[in-house]
Amino acid sequence: MKYRCEYTYSRRFGKPLHMWTLVGARGGLHLHITDYGEEHEQEHGYRYQGGIEVHWRFPPDHASGPPDHDQCWLLKAPCWHDGSSLQASETWIPIWLSCKDDHDHMFAMLANEANRHLDPEEDK
């Protein structure tokens, strides 16, 4: 298997937090989605919020400085990272809502995303 995958469920500030992590030789990726509930949706117009982030062990082509973290929580090593809450809202939350209990599907989709960023030659 190319990535070590893990799904965790916890409660952060009393709200359900779902997180998928993938770690491989070149880096990792994590997606987190928080469910703020129906009342929050009625008041603020959205129920779910999340983010997706790529963590590189080596400087990606777009890096122009030192690692963003000397000790990345995901890789346990220095890392460069980049992420998007908009991509989580527009792409990943709808995917998750369509297959909430199918973590294998989520990991397969996330592995494709990780390959695109971490190993673009293999993704072709």
pTM (two decimals): 0.91
* pLDDT, tens digit, 9 for 90 and up, residues 58-109: 998 888 899 999 999 999 999 999 999 999 999 999 999 999 889 999 999 9
Residue 12 within any structural domain of the chain: yes
Residue 82 falls inside a structural domain: yes
Does the pLDDT at position 1 exceed 70? Answer: no
In sequence order, what are the beta bridge partners of 51? Answer: 32
Q: Is residue 124 part of a domain?
A: no
Number of domains the chain is built from: 1
Per-residue exposure over 10-41, b if at least 16 CB sit within 10 Å of its own CB, e if not: eeeeeeeebbbbbbbebbbbbbbbbbbeeebe
What range does the domain containing 88 cover?
4-119
